Amino acid sequence: MEEERHFELTKNGKIFILFGSLFVIIGLAIDTLLLIVPGVLFLVVITSTFISFIFSHTYSFNTKMSCSKDFMRSRGLLAVAVELTNPSRRTILTKISLRFSFHFKSIDKPETILIKLLPQKKTKIVWLLLASRRGNGEIGPIEISVGSFQYLFKHKRILKDTQQIKILPQRPRINIPWKTKKELLLKMVHEFAQRVKGRGDEFFALRDYLPGDQLKHIDWYATARHDKLISREFEDQRNLHFLIYLDLSSTMFGPKFEYALSSVVELCSLIKGTNHDLAVVAYSENVQKYIIPQVGKHELRLMLNLYDIEATGVHSSFLNAVKFTKNNNVLHSIAIIFSDLEGDLVKKLQGIHLLQTMGSRVIFVNFATMHFNILSSQDWMLDRTEDMNYGEILQDVFPSIVSDEYRKREIELRQLLYSIRGDYVDVFGYDDNIILSLFRLMKKYSPTQRLVQEAMRRAS
């Protein structure tokens, strides 16, 4: 790494040299220890900086800096690790400061830290940074102050290693009140449900009066218009059966799984508030856990059961999970799958097919790996590879291969889902909310939107 060395007597230092000599000279001239003592002290302090420079100007440090991400969103967090090695045989007390552009702010720790570097040992410091502004941020250089009294005598090593980090604008923060969430869910459910006539409050259609219909159901305006008795029909109030599949395979492991699980818990607790039924199937190769929520005071148990789930499987087979629901006659009208595009896609497609034949509406929620994992940084992967040549090749080629593969898989899955009236939802990182994503999806299918789309199609 390129190193720049700064040795400079600052303006303050020069002033204090003059001050010291002035104090001493005046003190000696007028016989006053009152001025001689502080004057001597100034000179001592200044001299100490020179001495420390003579002793420490040969020090050099091996430094390595790495950032956890190359691009991020505003209000996102970034970890910067700095590894310092002290190759000399002396313990060095240094002040280390990480310089970064105005886009970042350090969390819980000032950017300047005073530490002791033990001889021939590695010291690692990790800074957590908050991206407070969007734009092209820059991390680095690292400044190492050697020796004391930097205000009088600047003695610094500047390690000119900088890293560019792109900070995209922040996603709008999702902070939906509980009540609104519930309303959204109810609307969504209403949209998804197949409407069946029967006893209920919601109006369904008008039809001719048949003997036996209640008098209060006769629509008198319609009767007057058509000159015959016409009665109203109502929609049946039916409970929907939500079935949530949660993938426990190794590809979901890590922060992504935690987020998926928290999304499941959020959705479950919302659905519990309505009069719809709910079941959760957590599967890896086989079904690991099947949770039917309890009523009333046992509701808490559902939550606790959910939080027990851990991503333990290596591979996952969605087909086996669907077979389980089929064999056990689990009722379901809306199946929501929390998974990703990794692993065996064919089994997922087969499972979705099977679900569709059982007459359920399928929503596939993809927790996009590239947006969730810290693995998305190339540095992180490179550290693990020992062969550098291979690493370089990996750095150039791997990301594009991965993203191409993901795109291909997504297209395949979308084609199948749309052919069976299913839906596909992407969750991009922690800023996305599952309820909001589902609601956005629902809006796409709402009657008004559909009319608009049809009109557009006709116009084109």
Partner 1 sequence: MRIRDKVFEEDWELTSLTALGSTFIAGAHHLFGALAVSLIIIQSAFSLNIYIFAIWLVLGVVILMTDFFKGTQMKLSSEVTFGLFFIFGTILSLLLANPNSMFFPATLGRVDIIIYQSLAGLCIGLRFLSTFYYMEYLEQDHPFVKTRSKYTREQVQQYKDNLIKTDFEYISPEGIKTLQKWIVLFRRMLWPFMLLIIFAALAALYALMIFYLIPEDSLAEYIIRPSLILVAIIYSVLLIRTNAILPKIVDVDTQDNRQQEKNSDTEATEDGIENIS
Smallest distance, Å, CB 333 to partner 1?
34
- Among 62, 90, 102, 326, the residue binding partner 1 under the rule CB under 8 A is 102
Q: Which residues contact 122 (CB under 8 A, 6 or more apart)?
A: 83, 84, 85
- Among 1, 62, 90, 93, the residue binding partner 1 under the rule CB under 8 A is 93
Smallest distance, Å, CB 147 to partner 1?
8
Smallest distance, Å, CB 115 to partner 1?
5
Handedness of CA 399, 401, 403, 409 (dihedral sign): negative
Q: Which is nearer to partner 1, 161 or 236 (CB)?
A: 161
Smallest distance, Å, CB 350 to partner 1?
33
Give the span between the Cα atoms of 245 and 168, in whole angstroms.
33
Give the span between the Cα atoms of 457 and 447, in whole angstroms.
15
Site string for partner 1, 245-274 (x = CB under 8 A): ---------xx--x----------------
* 8-state DSSP, 147: S
Q: How far is CA 447 from CA 90, 97, 444, in A?
A: 76, 59, 9
Report the first-to-last Cα separation within the chain, whole angstroms. 59
3-state secondary structure of 67: strand
CA angle centred on 351, ends 338 and 315, rounded to 5°: 65
- Among 2, 3, 48, 131, the residue binding partner 1 under the rule CB under 8 A is 48
Smallest distance, Å, CB 301 to partner 1?
24
- Among 3, 60, 66, 213, the residue binding partner 1 under the rule CB under 8 A is 66
Positions 104 through 163 that interact with partner 1 (CB under 8 A): 105-116, 123-126, 128, 130, 132-135, 147-152, 154
Positions 165 through 204 that interact with partner 1 (CB under 8 A): 169, 173, 175
Give the span between the Cα atoms of 425 and 440, in whole angstroms.
9
Q: Which is nearer to partner 1, 149 or 445 (CB)?
A: 149
Positions 198 through 237 that interact with partner 1 (CB under 8 A): none
Positions 4 through 43 that interact with partner 1 (CB under 8 A): 4-9, 12-26, 28-43
Positions 417 through 446 that interact with partner 1 (CB under 8 A): 430
As a dihedral over the C-alpha atoms of residue 217, residue 220, residue 225, residue 226, rounded to 10 degrees, the angle is 50
Structure tokens at 51: 């001495």
